Chain A
Amino acid sequence: GENVEQHPSTLSVQEGDSAVIKCTYSDSASNYFPWYKQELGKRPQLIIDIRSNVGEKKDQRIAVTLNKTAKHFSLHITETQPEDSAVYFCAASFNKLVFGAGTILRVKS
């Protein structure tokens, strides 16, 4: 079955710096790759997603890149702000989502 590995498990950055979170997946049939943000005590919420026919997608300060050959995809957050502090989950899907273990992002002001 599908397996998704996510790195790093924790990430601390200074406000204004960039943050990068990387995920690898095992099932080459996966064709949908969402990223979720979960604040403490809240539900996961979709922040950006990418499909397998697209290499990169950007939404303001957030971007996701996908390398299907290498089977990895990454989340890039630029100009980080304290409100970006949360747990971020990647996921990969062919017919159902498999989630990575999550990355705790701390933005220090």
Chain B
Amino acid sequence: NAGVTQTPKFRVLKTGQSMTLLCAQDMNHEYMYWYRQDPGMGLRLIHYSVGEGTTAKGEVPDGYNVSRLKKQNFLLGLESAAPSQTSVYFCASSNGLYRGRTDTQYFGPGTRLTVL
């Protein structure tokens, strides 16, 4: 099993450009998450999904959109990139908190995004 994978690994954008980050998991997890990680601020939740076709806002959703058309994939879009979106983006997946199952989240390797 590959676990959680992310593409691309690195990307440099100019202000105003758009892009999509792809997350894929092969563990048949229901829940998927997108986080951003900035120095000294830990991991902050952008958007998440509790199942195919569902999405919800996290702590810092502004400037991002997401889609979960297939259970194994979770896409994060930036419509008009800004320098404030320079960060490392992590995707994660889990079984979620349901019927006593522990919400262990498994993370992808991350995407380092720079917006100039």
Contacts and interface: CB of A to CB of B under 8 A. Distances in A.
Nearest to A34: B104
A44 interface: yes
Interface of B: 33, 40-45, 48, 58-59, 90, 97, 102-110
A26 interface: no
Contacts of A31: 97
Interface residues of A, number: 24
Contacts of B33: 96
Contacts of A49: 102, 104
A99 interface: yes
A61 interface: no
A10 to B, nearest CB: 11
Contact of A89 (B43, B45, B59, B110): B43
A94 B106 CA distance: 17
A45 interface: yes
Given A32-B103, A51-B102, A95-B97, A43 B42 contact: no
